Amino acid sequence: MIFDIAVIGAGMAGASLAAELAPHARVLLIEGEDAPGYHATGRSAAFWEECYGGPAIVPLTRASGPYLADHGFLTDRGALYIGRAEDRAATDAFCARYAGTGVRIERLAPGALRERVPQLSPEWSEALHQPACADIDVAGLHQHYLSLARARGAVLATRARVAGLSREGGAWTIATTRGQTWRAGMIVNAAGAWADEIAQAAGAAPIGIAPFRRTVIALRVAPQPPADLPLVLDINGTFYFKPDAGRLWLSPHDEVPSAPCDAVPEELDVAIAVDRFTKVTDWRIEAVERRWAGLRSFAPDRLPVYGFDTQVERFFWFAGQGGFGIQTAPAAARLGAQLLLGQGRDPMIAGIDPAAYSPARFARELQSV
Ligand SMILES: Cc1cc2nc3c(=O)[nH]c(=O)nc-3n(C[C@H](O)[C@H](O)[C@H](O)COP(=O)(O)OP(=O)(O)OC[C@H]3O[C@@H](n4cnc5c(N)ncnc54)[C@H](O)[C@@H]3O)c2cc1C
């Protein structure tokens, strides 16, 4: 059987796009691991935070919100960006940066901050509240898209690491390290940290999608954090924490360049996380119960890359989802499918300008050098 479209990578990006494409085409979804979701998708901090990723990501995040809420994948959390007195300029700049984006941000008085996070050290007095922030059921969303793709006729192949891509006439031949081969009319590159490698295998120029390691640890603390504690983020980006099932998830907001790999947490990053946390709150750490790391992959301008390659025909990029690939998945997948199929925009993504995310922006940069 020749497939119309082969999507490489069955993380959130590939699964969601396959689900959107499957009603219109014969889709093959190819995953190198035993189970989809093993890499970045299975390691996220699971929040939907309207500002995360910067103003150019806000339209994708906000357009995804109703889909996520309507399907029951969001639970109210709220977020607080916090700072000390000397961070007033940083909080002002944050508010100015998001003015006009539609994001709701409210400044909290120090007393109100203390009420929400009683364990904070007194010098943390600045707080910006984002009431709309929510937890995402990441595994539920990923399974939703995988099930939807299958129900709509897509075929999922796991333990199928793509090693070779060649094109003859109108069809690509896809070969895996275990000797499987398939044919497809079009390739979608949803390979996360490996996106540039897949591009090179297809003869396309790499865009410079760079993976960066991010660490999260799960802490048992005393007193136990309240279930309704908001997501708390440092305005200067040196930590965030949130409650999960009686524990605290804490990240030192690290961003360490990495080769594409099965990322593991480094002791140093765990120690940095603990050190920062103990300086910021008076929670007593009883145990670091879990630790994990994952790769967040960014294009050079830190915006995602959705669209056809400018040089290699029938090769579509769906990569560079950075730290926002879960919260933007519904709108990104809808946009990706409509760009790939040459369809008009539907109401969910009507307000989104795809030019900002097009691979053509890198081709233009190369020409102007
Ligand atoms: C610690 C951490 C916290 C995060 N927190 C959040 C958050 O709170 N909210 C949010 O929205 N986002 C968050 N993110 C980002 C989010 O997890 C990613 O943007 C998203 O998971 C990217 O999905 P993906 O499908 O592109 O990548 P992946 O999930 O990495 O999927 C890519 C897949 O491609 C497969 N693949 C690669 N090469 C090949 C090949 N040659 N052949 C076959 N298959 C191949 C891989 O095996 C992998 O399964 C976080 C990320 C990390 C690491």
Q: Output the pTM of the full model.
A: 0.97
The H helix count followed by the E strand count for the chain is 9, 20
CA 206/CA 212 separation, integer angstroms: 17
**Phi, psi dihedrals of residue 338, rounded to the nearest 5°:** -70, -35
Q: How many CB atoms lie within 10 A of CB 63?
A: 21
Instruction: Return the residue matching tokens 């999960």.
Output: 244
Nearest CA to ligand 1 atom 51: 44
Atom of ligand 1 nearest to the CA of 161: 42
pLDDT given for residue 273 in this prediction: 98
pLDDT given for residue 369 in this prediction: 46
Per-10-residue mean pLDDT for the chain, 369 residues long? Answer: 96 99 98 98 98 97 98 98 98 98 96 96 97 98 98 98 94 97 98 98 97 98 96 98 97 98 98 98 98 98 98 98 98 98 95 96 67
Identify the CA nearest to 60 among candidates 30, 3, 119, 102. 102
By residue count, the chain amounts to 369
**Residues lining ligand 1, CB < 6 A?**
8-14, 30-33, 36, 38-41, 43-47, 161-162, 190-194, 198, 214, 216, 294-296, 321-327
pLDDT given for residue 170 in this prediction: 86
Q: Is 282 exposed, middle or buried (0-12, 13-18, 19+ CB in 10 A)?
A: exposed
pLDDT given for residue 366 in this prediction: 53
pLDDT given for residue 323 in this prediction: 98
pLDDT digits (tens, 9 = 90+) for 59-76: 999 999 999 999 999 999
pLDDT given for residue 246 in this prediction: 96
Tell me the residue type at 290: R
CA 224/CA 360 separation, integer angstroms: 50
Enumerate the β-bridge partners of residue 137.
none
CA 34/CA 31 separation, integer angstroms: 8
Cα–ligand 1 centroid distance for 190 (angstroms): 9
Q: What share of the chain is helix, strand, coil (3-state, %, to 5)?
A: 30, 30, 40
CA 190/CA 32 separation, integer angstroms: 12
pLDDT given for residue 150 in this prediction: 98
